[in-house]
């Protein structure tokens, strides 16, 4: 028996903070994607829709100072860019914050 279930559509909210805000038209944007999807797949989608943001994200990730949170949990403590996203998840990109 062949299981030809169609891929389920899920909605992911992407939030950016600090110096990343100018690279995404809205500080919070929603994306409808097809499950299953991993964080790295979302990054590919962002490359097409917000290339300036993706450039800044790549720089921050390469330098090791950018934090990515999924529902408030740092992806470093999940499965990194292979973390599977679910319907209703919020992905937040947080650059370092300075002050005194």
Can you give the pTM of this predicted structure?
Answer: 0.82
pLDDT in tens, 33-92: 888 899 999 988 888 888 888 888 888 888 888 899 999 999 989 998 899 999 999 999
Q: Which domain holds residue 78?
A: 9-94
For 1, 3, 9, 34, 89, the CA distances from 56, given in Å and listed in that order, are 47, 41, 28, 25, 22
At 61, list the tokens: 């990730």
How many domains is the chain partitioned into structurally?
1
Flag whether 54 is in a domain: yes
Query: How many whole angstroms separate alpha carbon 11 and alpha carbon 63?
Result: 29
Flag whether 2 is in a domain: no
* DSSP code at position 78: T
Flag whether 4 is in a domain: no
CATH number, domain of 40, equals 3.10.20.30
Flag whether 90 is in a domain: yes
Residue 26 has what pLDDT? 66
Residue 83 has what pLDDT? 95
1 falls in which pLDDT band (50, 70, 90)?
very low
Flag whether 99 is in a domain: no
Flag whether 41 is in a domain: yes
Flag whether 20 is in a domain: yes
Flag whether 64 is in a domain: yes
Nearest to 12 by CA among 68, 90, 73, 94: 90
pLDDT in tens, 6-26: 568 899 999 988 888 887 766
């Amino acid at each position: 028996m062949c299981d030809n279930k169609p891929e389920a559509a899920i909605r992911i909210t992407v939030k950016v903070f600090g110096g990343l805000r100018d690279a995404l038209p809205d500080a919070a944007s929603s994306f409808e994607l097809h499950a299953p999807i991993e964080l790295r797949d979302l990054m590919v989608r962002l490359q097409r829709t917000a290339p300036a943001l993706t450039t800044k994200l790549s720089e921050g990730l390469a330098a090791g100072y950018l934090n990515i949170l999924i529902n408030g949990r740092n992806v470093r403590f999940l499965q990194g860019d292979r973390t599977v996203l679910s319907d209703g998840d919020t992905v937040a990109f947080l650059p370092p914050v300075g002050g005194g």
